[in-house]
Amino acid sequence: MGEGKNCEAWLCDLIEGVSSEELTKVLITLWFLWKERNNHLFNNPKLEEWEIVAKAQNYLEEYIEQQNRRNPGPPLSRARARTRCPLERTLKLNTDATILGEEGTGYGMILRDSAGNFLMGATHRTKTRWPIEMAEAQAMVWGLKLTREHYSLLLLMETDCQTLIQKLNRREATKLEVGLFVTRSVRLQRRMEV
Q: Is beta strand 154-158 parallel, antiparallel or unpaired with respect to 90-99? A: parallel
Residue 87: exposure state from Cβ atoms within 10 A (0-12, 13-18, ≥19): exposed
The 10s digit of each residue's pLDDT in 161-171 is: 777 767 666 65
Residue 133 zone, left/alpha/beta (φ > 0; ψ -120 to 50; rest) = alpha
Do the Cβ atoms of 120 and 155 come closer than 8 Å? Answer: no
Q: Domains, the chain, ranges and CATH?
A: 7-70 (no CATH), 90-192 (3.30.420.10)
pLDDT higher than threshold 80 for residue 187 = no
Residue 4: exposure state from Cβ atoms within 10 A (0-12, 13-18, ≥19): exposed
List the one residue out of 157, 130, 135 whose CA is nearest residue 146.
157
List the one residue out of 81, 164, 87, 85 whose CA is nearest residue 130.
164
Q: Find which of 35-39, 73-77, 96-100 is predicted with most confidence, using mean pLDDT.
A: 96-100
The 10s digit of each residue's pLDDT in 13-24 is: 777 777 777 777
Confidence (pLDDT) at 83 = 56
The 10s digit of each residue's pLDDT in 69-93 is: 766 555 444 444 455 666 777 888 8
